[in-house]
Structure 1
Amino acid sequence: MTNWKLIFCCFHLISVMSAGFGLEVTMSQESLEVARGDDVTLTCNFKPKNQNNPLTIITWSGDADGTAQKVIFGTYYSENNLVDIGPEYEGKASIATELAARKSMLTLKQVSMKESRKIRCYVQIPGDNEGQTSGTTFLLVQVPPSKPICKLVGTAEYGQNISLTCVSEEGSPTPTYKWEGYDVKNVLRPFPPKTTEKDGVLSLFNVSMETSGFYVCLSSNKVGSEKCNFTLSVIPPSMNIASTLGIVGGCIAGVALLIIIIFCCCRKRKQKPEEYEVGTPVVEYLDKPLAVVAEDYKDQRMKNIDEQSEKVNHDDVRDNYDDRMGIRDDLSNRDDDRKGSRDELSYRYDDQRGSRDELRVRYDDRKGSRDDLRDRYDDRKGSRDDLRDRYDDRRGSRDELRERYNERRGSRDELRERNDERRGSRDELRERNDERRGSRDELRERYDERRGSRDELRERYDERRGSRDDLSNRYDDKRERHTVGIIE
Structure 2
Amino acid sequence: MENSKTFVSALICLVWSAAAAIEVDIPKDQYEFARGDNITLPCTFKSVIPNPSQITITWFAGDVPILTHYHPSGDTDITFENRMSADVNINGGSGKADLKINSVTISDNNKYQCIVQVPRDKQGKISDTATLTVLVAPSKPICKIQGTASCGQNINLTCVSEEGSPPPTYKWNSYDVLNNPRAHEPRTTDKGGILSLYNITKETSGFYICVSQNKIHSASCNLTISVLPQSTNIGSTAGIIGGVITALILLIVILSCFCCRKKDEDKEDYAMAPQ
When the two chains are superposed, the root-mean-square deviation of aligned CA atoms in Å is 3.1
TM (norm. structure 2) is 0.80
Judging by fraction of residues, say which structure has more helix.
1
Structure 1 counterpart of 2:257, one-letter code: L
Q: Which amino acid aligns with 2:202?
A: M
Give TM-score scaled by structure 1 length: 0.48
Q: Which residue of 2 aligns with 1:36?
A: 35
Secondary structure of 2:73 counterpart: helix
**Corresponding position of 2:52:** 53
Would the aligned equivalents of 1:162 and 1:203 in 2 still touch at CA under 8 Å?
yes
Flag structure 2 segments of 5+ consecutive residues without an equivalent: 1-11
- Relative to its length, the structure with more strand (as a share) is 2
SS at the partner of 1:239?
helix
Give the alignment of 1:300-449 within 5 angstroms.
415-416=244-245, 419-438=247-266
Q: Is the alpha carbon distance of 1:18 and 1:237 closer, same or farther for their aligned partners in structure 2, counting shifts above 3 Å?
A: farther
SS at match of 1:186: coil
Deviation for aligned residue 1:29: 3.3
Contact 1:34 1:142 in 2 (8 A): yes
Match of 1:137 among 130, 138, 155: 130
8 A contact 1:31–1:139 mirrored in 2: yes
Q: What is the Cα deviation at residue 244 of structure 1?
A: 4.8
Residue 149 of structure 1 contacts residue 228 of structure 1 at CA under 8 Å; is this kept in 2?
yes
Deviations 1:46-74 (A, max 9, x none): 111211222211111112xxxxxx33221
Deviation at 1:441, TM superposition (A): 6.3
State how far apart, in whole Å, the 2-side matches of 1:61 and 1:245 are. 64
What amino acid is aligned across from residue 51 of structure 1 in structure 2? P
Which digits, 9 at most, give the CA deviation of each residue in 1:363-393, with x for residues without a partner? xxxxxxxxxxxxxxxxxxxxxxxxxxxxxxx
CA distance in 2, matches of 1:230, 1:137: 42
How far the C-alpha of 1:177 sits from its partner, in A, is 1.9
**CA offset at residue 81 of structure 1?**
1.7
Kindly tell me: are residues 250 and 162 of structure 1, through their superposed partners in 2, closer, same or farther at Cα, counting changes over 3 Å?
A: closer
Cα distance in 1, alignment partners of residues 111 and 17 from structure 2:
26
Query: Which among 173, 181, 204 is matched to residue 211 of structure 1?
Result: 204
Alignment of 1:169 onto 2:162: yes
Q: How many residues align?
A: 261
Change over 3 Å in CA distance of 1:160–1:420 after alignment to 2: closer
CA shift, 1:440, in A, is 6.2
Q: Which residue of 2 aligns with 1:95?
A: 86
Q: Which of residues 214, 221, 229 in structure 2 aligns to 1:228?
A: 221
Equivalent position SS for 2:227: coil
> Distance in 2 between the 1:221 and 1:82 partners?
41
Paired residue type of 1:103: K
Gaps in structure 1 of 5+ consecutive residues: 1-12, 64-69, 255-414, 450-488
Secondary structure of 2:215's aligned partner: coil
**1:275 counterpart residue number:** none
DSSP 3-state at the match of 1:102:
strand
Alpha-carbon offset, residue 427 of structure 1: 1.9
Secondary structure of 1:425's aligned partner? helix
Tell me which of 191, 197, 213 is aligned to 2:190. Answer: 197
Give the distance between the partners of 2:47 and 2:133, measured in 1 at CA.
30
Amino acid at match of 1:180: N
Cα distance change, pair 140–18 in 1 and its aligned pair in 2 (3 A)? farther
**Superposition map of 1:245-260 within 5 A:** 245-251=236-242, 254=243
User: How big is each residue's C-alpha offset from its partner over 1:143-173, in whole Å with a ceiling of 9 and x where there is no partner?
Assistant: 1112223344555443455443323233112
1:375-422 deviation line (CA, Å, top 9, x unaligned): xxxxxxxxxxxxxxxxxxxxxxxxxxxxxxxxxxxxxxxx45x64454
Deviation per residue, 1:421-460 (Å, 9 max, x gap): 54233222222233444566678x68xx9xxxxxxxxxxx
Q: Distance in 2 between matches of 1:22 and 1:244?
A: 85
Amino acid at match of 1:45: T
- Which of these two proteins has the greater Rg computed from alpha carbons? 1
Q: Is the 8 A contact 1:19 1:49 kept in 2?
A: no
SS of the equivalent of 1:81 reads coil
Q: Which residue does 2:115 correspond to in 1?
A: 122
1:337-383 deviation digits (Å, cap 9, x = unpaired): xxxxxxxxxxxxxxxxxxxxxxxxxxxxxxxxxxxxxxxxxxxxxxx
